[in-house]
Amino acid sequence: MRAVTDSSSPGRRDLVLLATCTALPHGEDERADGPLVQALAERGIEGRWVAWDDAAVDWGEGLVAVRSTWDYETRLPEFLAWARSVPTMLNSAELFAWNTDKHYLVELAAAGVPVVPTVVVEADGDLARAVADHLPAVVKPTVSAGGRGVVVVTEPGPVEGATEGPWVVQPLVDSVRTEGETSVFVLDGVPVSQARKVPAGGEIRVHEVYGGSSVGVPLTPEASDLARTAVAAAEERLGRRIDYARVDQMRLPDGTLALSELEATEPGLYLEVLPGNAAAFADLVAARLRA
């Protein structure tokens, strides 16, 4: 399934269906005429926000861009079945199936990408031992989003508060509380923008719902190089192009940056702090529609 449309197909050249969830009818735009829709309109493209689970939508009507389907982790089989049914889509259902399970971090590490040390634990009986090897440790489900299900463990013993597994276990990277987390947006293989995200108080989660904040910063060669490396490795692993991704990074104790997440399914564009991402994403859509 390719991410371009046939320019000879009537009604498909100038429409992109922006897939969201029911709770966010206008996705990250927050209103029907938000910045992403406006940027698309400036390029002669109609952007239409639609819920991914809306049975009334004709998904063959235009190019589909998965944007803010932020309920997918609680309905993953249903979400992936829907993605496989979409005729023409940026990225792909195969990419989503791989990227929505954090096993991919282990695969990218094996491919030579600098990754925050990650262990996948399948069985309940192995969790406490894996955590003891990485204290202080961060535990999260392999399928999770938005910081949900994250547990910080500081002492050996039973892991209190962990959700149903399997899990990934990582050492707690201290720099997340000082330097924060770096995010680089990569569109069509090219880094286009960078943000710095910091948690609040004693939190390690940088999401706004937990008090975190984000700010746009200039692209740095170090973060850009890691972002390119991570995306290229994922493309080689999957044998397909990645149209868009957000590459989250943390600084390890040795001073180097390492991949913490490669979000290629539904990464928010951080339009409030990186408004230029709307134009960059619209350019990507236009290129795919008119290839």
Q: 173-191, pLDDT tens digit by residue?
A: 999 999 999 999 999 999 9
Q: Which pTM does this prediction carry?
A: 0.92
DSSP 3-state of 135: coil
Q: 39-94, pLDDT tens digit by residue?
A: 999 999 999 999 999 999 999 999 999 999 999 999 999 999 999 999 999 999 99
CATH architecture classification, 15-90+277-289: 3-Layer(aba) Sandwich (3.40)
pLDDT at res. 151: 85
Where in the chain are the domains? Answer: 15-90+277-289, 103-114+175-264, 119-172
Q: 233-282, pLDDT tens digit by residue?
A: 999 999 999 999 999 999 999 999 999 999 999 999 999 999 999 999 99
pLDDT at res. 127: 93
The C-alpha atoms of residue 221 and residue 205 are separated, in whole angstroms, by: 25
What would the mean pLDDT of 205-216 be, rounded to a whole number?
Answer: 83
Are the C-beta atoms of residues 267 and 207 closer than 8 Å to each other?
no
**Greater pLDDT, 89 or 209:** 89
Amino acid at 6: D
The C-alpha atoms of residue 80 and residue 93 are separated, in whole angstroms, by: 6
What's the CATH code, domain 103-114+175-264? 3.30.470.20
H or E segment and range at residue 137: strand 137-141
H or E segment and range at residue 288: helix 276-289
pLDDT at res. 210: 66
Q: Residue 230's closest CA among 273, 191, 269?
A: 191
The mean pLDDT of the chain is 91
Residue 89 phi/psi, 5-degree rounding, is -150, 140
pLDDT at res. 150: 87
